[in-house]
Amino acid sequence: MTGWLGGLTIRTGPGPPTADYLCTHCWYHQRLTGHDRIRYGARDLPLTHRATCPALHPKGTTP
């Protein structure tokens, strides 16, 4: 992962394509594999995660 500062990275190649998403706020990592999942899911990963990212949406500390 050297040089990878987070965000969405899609790798295509001789093997199965993979998409990795790394949230730079909470360091949540998710990987998608497969053409369809990447085509329809990868672009939404940052958006869907940002909606639930615990770093961006703190649930509030214990009272």
Determine if 28 is a binding residue for Zn ion (CB under 5 A). yes
Which region, judged by CB under 5 A, interacts with Zn ion, from 1-9, 11-19, 24-32, 36-44?
Answer: 24-32
Strand order of the β-sheet with 7-11 is 7-11, 18-22, 29-33
CA dist., res. 59 & res. 14, Å (int): 42
Pick between residue 58 and residue 63 the one whose CB is nearest to Zn ion: 58
Contact flag: residue 8 with Zn ion (CB under 5 A): no
Q: How far apart are CA 26 and CA 8, in angstroms?
A: 14
Binding site for Zn ion (CB under 5 A): 23, 25-26, 28, 53
